[in-house]
């Protein structure tokens, strides 16, 4: 197997160019552990400067 090494600064620049600026999360369950996980992911995305949208389905509102 042939692997190619990339300079860290080049890899970081490429990641920053392709980073999405928004995220959408659909909450399908009303279980507390699943809702909490969705909020943790949403908080992390918001902390990274992303616009976060969360949708709660019928079961997610239970």
pLDDT at 3 over 80: no
Tokens at residue 25, please? 């999360």
| pLDDT score recorded for residue 18 | 80
| Tokens 């090494």 sit on residue | 5
Higher local confidence (pLDDT), 34 or 11: 34
Neighbours of 10 (CB within 10 A): 9
* DSSP conformation class of 58: T
Average pLDDT of the residues of the chain: 86
Three-class DSSP labels, 11-34:
HHHHHHHHCCCEEEEEECCCCHHH
pLDDT at 59 over 80: no
Can you tell me the distance from the alpha carbon of 34 to that of 48, in angstroms, rounded to the nearest whole number? 21
Per-residue pLDDT reduced to its tens digit, 36-58? 999 999 999 999 899 999 999 88
Neighbours of 13 (CB within 10 A): 11
| pLDDT score recorded for residue 42 | 97
């Amino acid at each position: 197997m042939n692997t190619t090494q990339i300079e860290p600064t080049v890899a970081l620049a490429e990641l920053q160019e392709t980073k999405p600026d928004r995220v959408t999360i659909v909450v399908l369950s009303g279980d507390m552990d699943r809702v909490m996980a969705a909020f943790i992911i949403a908080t992390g995305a918001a902390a990274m400067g992303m616009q976060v949208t969360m949708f709660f389905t019928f079961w997610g509102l239970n």
